[in-house]
Amino acid sequence: MAPPVTVNTINPKVIECEYAVRGEIVILAQKLQDEIKIKLEAHPFEEILYCNIGNPQSLGQQPITFFREVLALCDHPPLLDKSETQGLFSKDSIQRARKILDQIPGRATGAYSHSQGIKGLRDTIAAGIEARDGFPADPNDIFLTDGASPAVHMMMQLLIRSEKDGILCPIPQYPLYSASIALHGGTLVPYYLDEATGWGLEVSDLKKQLEAAKSKGIDVRALVVINPGNPTGQVLAEENQKEIVKFCKEEGLVLLADEVYQENVYVRKKKFHSFKKVSRSMGYDEKDIHLVSFQSVSKGYYGECGKRGGYMEITGFGADVREHIYKLASVNLCSNISGQILASLVMSPPKAGDESYESYISERDGILSSLARRAKTLEDAFNKLEGVTCNKAEGAMYLFPRINLPEKAIKAAGEAKTAPDAFYCRRLLTETGIVFVPGSGFRQVPGTWHFRCTILPQEEKIPAVVTRLTDFHKRFMNEFRD
């Protein structure tokens, strides 16, 4: 009897789905790492330098002390009644933990919460959004989730009925979007960010792509905007955001705003504006636009990826549709409570006068200013490489340099049955231990090649990354020079 499940009998949508950020190159990197662990001289490098994923703490970034103090106290509340605790924890972390426990029904951090998340924590988050935007936020619009990814899946599940439903996505895009659209059986409708203008988003291109999709019978349901950009690192100008909001209103599109990098802005002349603030400042309210904003505890200066916390703020949907979103949230019961607590903390960090305030500011600013320096160093290094151009990382955690590969390299890639940028990244990995993600994993303008590099290796490792990359690149270009 044939085995019941083979690749020929599983859901073809699963096969179609791709996720390069943890794909082939990364799996190879893990293999090399295991080999080095057994035999240090197995490869021409002593460690793997993971620049593939926005995972700051895996590369040595330390968590914010105040956040972890609060989490530890909430995990083990009997600590709050012990005198030794005063010496071990900051005063405001103790106060905050008490306040959070009071907000949790029965102080039970081990209980399933309300499907949208603990109401008191949603109150705190809504207050944080109000303070950020200057416009009201309703705790009943907040759905706490295990990071932003499950929230994106939930919206795709809601919106996509068949392959005739399209979602406008930036190209290049974070592959969560292409993966989620593929898994839910919809169609990704691409719009292209303009590399020549620093990954600018032209509404004229949006219009063109929307019309092209419509003419193919695609019902375009939503527009995804990632701001600050992933993998592209640009920060949208407020004027540009207004055009996008107007476009969504006029075309009847849900605006899915991926705003997980809202704290990661590295240039003085740019500032993060939430799409909710922008649309409200234009006088648009709930009845004018369906807007979903995604936030995560994984990014920012906090970088708490492993805690899987995040939320989406949903505005503009009718009460009956909201009931179905609530039901979807209910089927998975609730997001994890530590992640929920952390989401409330990142939206309400220590304030001036709190005991932890100074250490918090110093930790936060230390991380953000170091990220800005690392972005600049890597950007400069890329721009010095033959045939490579790299836009500024205004925000987020990535650079997405373009590489003009020699014809001979493209031909060699073809013979190896791989994309030219994947060919480059694989060689880079096996020769230097550096892990980049090929641009083809994010999609790109056909005929152009890129890779994504995070700015996350600790500062003392950046010179090694630059040296190894530069030496490799010279060798590679010499080998394949036409």
Asked if residue 120 binds a second copy (CB under 8 A), the reply is: no
Query: What is the contact mask toward a second copy in residues 336 to 375, using x (rule: CB under 8 A)?
Result: xxxx------------------------------------
Q: Which of 316, 349, 395, 420 binds a second copy (CB under 8 A)?
A: 316
Asked if residue 11 binds a second copy (CB under 8 A), the reply is: yes
Query: Cβ closer to a second copy: 84 or 415?
Result: 84
Gap between the Cα atoms of 109 and 125, Å rounded: 18
Q: Report the run of H or E that residue 167 belongs to, with start and end.
A: strand 165-171
* Single-letter code of the amino acid located at 207: K
Query: Cβ closer to a second copy: 2 or 352?
Result: 2
Q: State the nearest-atom distance from the C-beta of 17 to a second copy, in Å.
A: 7
- The C-alpha angle 298, 300, 304, rounded to 5 degrees, equals 30
Q: State the nearest-atom distance from the C-beta of 334 to a second copy, in Å.
A: 7
Gap between the Cα atoms of 34 and 50, Å rounded: 14
Query: What is the contact mask toward a second copy in residues 91 to 110, using x (rule: CB under 8 A)?
Result: --------------xx-xxx
Q: State the nearest-atom distance from the C-beta of 394 to a second copy, in Å.
A: 24
Q: Which of 108, 99, 219, 117 is nearest to 160 (CA)?
A: 219
Asked if residue 213 binds a second copy (CB under 8 A), the reply is: no
Q: State the nearest-atom distance from the C-beta of 128 to a second copy, in Å.
A: 20
Match 């790492």 to its residue by tokens: 33
Gap between the Cα atoms of 182 and 242, Å rounded: 30
Give the helix, strand, coil percentages of the chain, each rounded to 5: 50, 15, 35
Residues 229-268 that bind a second copy (CB under 8 A): 250, 252-254
Asked if residue 196 binds a second copy (CB under 8 A), the reply is: no
For residues 192 and 447, the answer to whether their CB atoms sit within 8 Å is: no
Query: Cβ closer to a second copy: 12 or 414?
Result: 12
Query: Cβ closer to a second copy: 234 or 335?
Result: 335
Asked if residue 19 binds a second copy (CB under 8 A), the reply is: yes
Q: State the nearest-atom distance from the C-beta of 456 to a second copy, in Å.
A: 11
Asked if residue 324 binds a second copy (CB under 8 A), the reply is: yes
Q: Which of 41, 87, 460, 482 binds a second copy (CB under 8 A)?
A: 87
Gap between the Cα atoms of 125 and 117, Å rounded: 11
Residues 415-444 that bind a second copy (CB under 8 A): none
Q: Which of 42, 59, 80, 464 binds a second copy (CB under 8 A)?
A: 59
Query: Cβ closer to a second copy: 252 or 463?
Result: 252
For residues 454 and 465, the answer to whether their CB atoms sit within 8 Å is: no
For residues 56 and 363, the answer to whether their CB atoms sit within 8 Å is: no
Q: State the nearest-atom distance from the C-beta of 214 to a second copy, in Å.
A: 14
Asked if residue 384 binds a second copy (CB under 8 A), the reply is: no
Asked if residue 320 binds a second copy (CB under 8 A), the reply is: yes
Q: Which of 331, 353, 417, 460 binds a second copy (CB under 8 A)?
A: 331
Residues 135-154 that bind a second copy (CB under 8 A): 146-147, 149-150, 153
How many amino acids of this chain bind a second copy (CB under 8 A)? 102
Distances (CA, A) of 275 to 193, 209, 280, 293, 470: 18, 22, 8, 8, 39
Asked if residue 1 binds a second copy (CB under 8 A), the reply is: yes
Contacts 24+ apart (CB under 8 A), 418-426: 419/449, 420/449, 421/449, 421/450, 421/451, 422/24, 422/25, 424/449, 424/451, 424/476, 425/25, 425/451, 426/25, 426/28
Q: Which of 95, 140, 332, 404 binds a second copy (CB under 8 A)?
A: 332
Residues 283-312 that bind a second copy (CB under 8 A): 287, 290, 298, 303-308
Distances (CA, A) of 455 to 259, 260, 470: 18, 16, 16
Query: Cβ closer to a second copy: 363 or 394?
Result: 363
